Amino acid sequence: MTRSGFVFANLLRKKTRTVLTLLSVVTAFLLFGLLQAVNVMFSAGADFVGATRLVTQARVSFTQSLPMRLLPEIEAVPGVEQVMWQQWFGAVWQENTQLFFFATDPARLHAVYPEYVMPDQQWKAFEETRTGMIVGRILADKYGWRIGDKVPIASNIFPQKNGSKAWIFDLVGIYDGKDEEWQRNTNLGWINHAYFDEATLFGTGLAGTFTLKLSNPDQAAQIAHTIDSKFENSPDETKTQTEKDSNLGFFKQIGDIGLIVRWILFAVFFTLLLVVGNTIAQSVRERIPELAILKTLGFTDGNVLGFVLAEAAAMCVIGGLLGLGLATLIGIKIGGGGNFPIAVDHRVWITGVLAIVGLSLAVGLLPALRASRLSIVDALAGR
């Protein structure tokens, strides 16, 4: 027998209670892992893009389009290396599956987003095929699309000139991300703006946003200010911001995800604190004479503190790791597709492990201190 063996033997003293408590820890950390992954995903939309790009949108809201005539003026701003535009297509797949599709200029997309990796011949095909579209790997895999497919995509915003909202595009390319992080964002589709602009019933000559690639990231603030000043007091006032802020602004339409997640996690962990804390405290109360015997045998106050703390930590560590492991598996299962691919990655695990340590101390320290301080004589006498 080892000291850790003794700790585990005590943990299994009341198996039902231990299993139920363990399940509550597993559930809490499963929830933690998934919610934290959601949180990371939302901030990842902001994190992985640096300030090497700026996004110019209508000052009022990104839902309001800007005229294409702003393009040359934006391009003329010193420090702007390349400009692409994108128009939200409002794509719907089959019955009612919303997809993230944008109309853009293929060559400019390629120039501004080198992170999207695709063979040159597919980029070329995208440029040359007016009805062409490209999609990210996640989307292609999810719907089983292959190059050469004719894909019917409806738009819930833009009908064609013949009044039909059903569009058909030729899939000419499937792109990947340059790394794991960008790969998780290959859930978008792109169509050729020239074709869209020609075929749409309304909304011609408009861009939802302009994305600017900068020659020097240090000039980002200055360039944003220059652009917005240029269109100030015009009918098309702009708001130029980093891609990160632009993405955050988009997601904040849903709500303050971070705050929602934090409140849910606070509630979960507060409840967990009470449940596990009470279990450990009760377990110590039940064992006062046994703890006194440990001290009688020569175990020091520190030894006894260590035993109780180790029990609390074992419960939290086992439950926490199982919960995070399950969350990771679920993340892999559901994170492979969709518009919000979540991944329980190293950032979630680091936060999770810190939470496990914090929880262990929070639930174990007080009972452990109580156990370490108990008087042998009083405890043996049942006082």
Partner 1 sequence: MSETMVRVSNVYKSYVRGKQKVEVLHGLTIEIPKGDFVALMGPSGSGKTTLLNLIGGLDRPTSGEILVGGQRIDQLSGNALAKWRARNVGFVFQFYNLMPVLTAERNIELPLLLTDLSAAQRRKSVAVALEVVGLADRAGHKPKELSGGQEQRVAIARALVSDPTILICDEPTGDLDRKTADEILGLLQVLNREHGKTIVLVTHDPKAAEFARRTLHLEKGQLLEQAAA
In the complex, the residues that contact partner 1 under the rule CB under 8 A are 1-3, 6, 9-10, 12-13, 289-290, 293-303, 376-377, 380
How near is the Cβ of 319 to partner 1 at its closest, in Å?
Answer: 20
133: left (phi over 0), alpha (psi -120 to 50) or beta: beta
How near is the Cβ of 381 to partner 1 at its closest, in Å?
Answer: 8
Q: Is 202 helix (H, G, I), strand (E, B) or coil?
A: coil
Rounded distance between C-alpha atoms, residue 5 and residue 374, angstroms: 23
Give the residue from 211, 264, 307 showing the smallest Cα distance to 28.
264
How near is the Cβ of 293 to partner 1 at its closest, in Å?
Answer: 5
Cβ-based nearer residue to partner 1, 3 or 161: 3
Cβ-based nearer residue to partner 1, 1 or 60: 1
Give the residue from 223, 231, 130, 121 showing the smallest Cα distance to 173.
121
Q: Is 353 helix (H, G, I), strand (E, B) or coil?
A: helix
How near is the Cβ of 11 to partner 1 at its closest, in Å?
Answer: 9
How crowded is the C-beta side of 328, counted as CA atoms within 13 Å?
13
Cβ-based nearer residue to partner 1, 5 or 144: 5
How near is the Cβ of 296 to partner 1 at its closest, in Å?
Answer: 5
Rounded distance between C-alpha atoms, residue 28 and residue 325, angstroms: 12
Cβ-based nearer residue to partner 1, 256 or 290: 290
> Per this entry, what is the length of the chain?
383
How near is the Cβ of 312 to partner 1 at its closest, in Å?
Answer: 17
Q: Are 84 and 105 in contact (CB under 8 A)?
A: yes
372 phi and psi angles, rounded to 5 deg: -70, -25
Cβ-based nearer residue to partner 1, 191 or 294: 294
- Pair type for strands 206-207 and 116-117: unpaired
How near is the Cβ of 290 to partner 1 at its closest, in Å?
Answer: 6
Rounded distance between C-alpha atoms, residue 63 and residue 88, angstroms: 9
Cβ-based nearer residue to partner 1, 121 or 300: 300
Bridge partner residues of 57 (DSSP): 209, 239
Cβ-based nearer residue to partner 1, 6 or 195: 6
